[in-house]
Amino acid sequence: MTERLYIYDTTLRDGQQTQGVQFSLTEKQQIATALDALGVDYIEGGWPGANPTDSDFFDAAPKTRATFTAFGMTKRAGYSAENDDVLAGVMNAGTSAVCLVGKSHDFHVTTALGITLDENVENISATMAYMVKEGREALYDAEHFFDGYKANPDYALTCVKAAYDAGARWVVLCDTNGGTLPHEVYEITKAVIAAGIPGDHLGIHTHDDTGNAVACSLAAIDAGARQVQGTLNGLGERCGNANLVTLIPILLTKEPYASAYELGVNKDALAGLTRMSRQLDDILNRVPNKSSPFVGASAFAHKAGLHASAILKDPTTYEHIPPETVGNTRIVPMSNQAGQSNLRARLADAGIEVEKGDPRLGDILNRVKEREDQGYAYDGAQASFELVARDVLGQLPQFFEVKRYKVTVERRKNKRNQMISLSEAIVVVKIGDDKKLSVSESMDASGTDRGPVNALAKALAKDLGPYQAIIEDMQLVDFKVRITQGGTEAQTRVIIDSEDGAGHRWSTVGVSPNIVDASFEALLDAIIWKLLRDGAQAA
């Protein structure tokens, strides 16, 4: 018989503690909608009254299946719960559930709050009782609980028992500093249950300061906790919180969890996890971490020839789950270490079937190795590799021909006597018998120059005639530059990551002594690959 395990997301509150992260109202609404579609049980929206964005978000609270939750703190000493204006601000948000943080470490009570230990216990008890009396689902976040337990177990237990006895639905054990290790979390969670708080009323909230946030969360579940808190992509203060994008697929695909627990997230929703993770990165204007478990671009990448050969026979030889389970894809990168096993696997992924022993396989490998000697790198530019292979195989249509392009960068003073730069690009392409000239500047809506590569990208994609509808939703999401050789022989390698409206990403590479030429080559490959993938016909 399965037990219910509850997922509590705090991306919109604790995730916003990440350095450099500040969600807008629209972004909060987008993330809440995505979380609800995923199937989490609780969405913590923020701290009402703490800042204008959080207040506006609660004023226009989204309609969610998940329990929408406000965050705050227990009442202050010297105030009743009914008359504490800070607590009133949280209550006035009108959410059905309220999560309130309170101290459980004696050192923090006397040093940070400057009150007595008994006053702190009374604050916890009175606040939880008030929440329950007002008909709210009460959650107590026991801040610094694990450090507090190690310093003074009796007092830490007194705090959490006060919350539970006053009617708290959930008592959440917080490893606020992130220094507790999994075996300690397991033992202490067991001790809390033995002290009289049932596991189905216990939650776990961990931080990743030792790289153990997910492991500590699993340890608490193993010990009996039945609510787990975390954030998308592990956002959070310092090193982040437990990463739900890692934790959820573990709970759904790994034993004993998959058989023992029922989650609000089902396997159909799990198939959208990779896209959700990347959607958050897009909102934050961050490059996705390729090494992220389950959802990273390298999570199912197989570079060694021996591995690729085995993957062709049976993917389970080097994959712990099928990548499509989480909406990811398998990649067999090409590099000068590649053998024919890698090559055939990579071609098969691209829908290109070549018989084993076909001499053209050797031609493709030779082309790849020659170009890598020139500075190209195809293990991180799968789309460009596919174009190279199709060219060797005679399967690369010519959609258009670039006749010429020109880029200028001008430095001048504007009407305010400020020195500014302006980049302009001209691109001439031939599509069938038709020549098209496109001109574009790199100035954005705010009047800032985005540089010559931006101008080139805009000009190239401005008017491709019959192909325009296919490339309309393309955008450049990452741009990486590396100098591959030093001195007078220096070569510049540019790798561009592109994305379309459906969330598909692909990478292309260009190499030249000139950074603009290298960038243009990568841009050109990105457009050609998109046309090829979407079934465009050569003019």
Q: What is the 3-state secondary structure (H, E, C) of 109-121?
A: HHHHHCCCHHHHH
Q: Helix or strand or coil: residue 50?
A: coil
Q: What is the pLDDT along the chain (539 residues), one digit of tens a residue?
A: 799 999 999 999 999 999 999 999 999 999 999 999 999 999 999 999 888 999 999 999 889 999 999 999 999 999 999 999 999 999 999 999 999 999 999 999 999 999 999 999 999 999 999 999 999 999 999 999 999 999 999 999 999 999 999 999 999 999 999 999 999 999 999 999 999 999 999 999 999 999 999 999 999 999 999 999 999 999 999 999 999 999 999 999 999 999 999 999 999 999 999 999 989 988 887 878 989 999 998 999 887 667 767 877 889 999 999 999 999 988 776 655 456 767 887 788 888 989 888 999 989 988 988 998 888 988 789 899 999 999 999 999 999 999 999 999 999 888 888 888 889 999 999 999 999 999 998 888 777 888 899 899 999 999 999 999 999 999 988 888 888 766 667 789 999 999 998 888 899 999 999 999 999 999 999 999 999 999 999 97
pTM higher than 0.85, yes or no? no
CATH superfamily of 401-533: Alpha-isopropylmalate synthase LeuA, regulatory domain (3.30.160.270)
CA distance 27 to 313: 44
Residue 134, both tokens: 């007002």
Residue 27, Ramachandran bin (φ over 0: left; ψ between -120 and 50: alpha; else beta):
alpha
For the chain, residues classed under CATH 3.30.160.270 are 401-533
The 8-class DSSP code of residue 51 comes to S
φ, ψ at 204 (rounded to 5°) = -130, 135
CATH superfamily of 3-265: Aldolase class I (3.20.20.70)
Strands (E), 176-275: 202-206, 227-230, 261-262
Question: Which residues are within 8 A (CB) of 491 and not within 5 positions of it... i.e. 6 or more apart?
Answer: 374, 375, 483, 484, 485, 511, 512, 513
Residue 120, both tokens: 């702190």
CB 259 within 8 A of CB 331: no
For the chain, residues classed under CATH 3.20.20.70 are 3-265
Which is nearest to 163 in space by CA: 105, 120, 194? 120
* Strand 3-4 to 6-9 pairing: unpaired
Q: Helix or strand or coil: residue 444?
A: coil
Radius of gyration of the chain (CA): 28
**Identity of residue 355:** E
Residue 380, both tokens: 């991180």
Q: Compute the Cα dihedral for 77, 80, 83, 85 and give only its sign.
A: positive
Q: In what order do the strands lie in the sheet with 434-441?
A: 401-413, 419-431, 434-441
Residue 308, both tokens: 């690729």
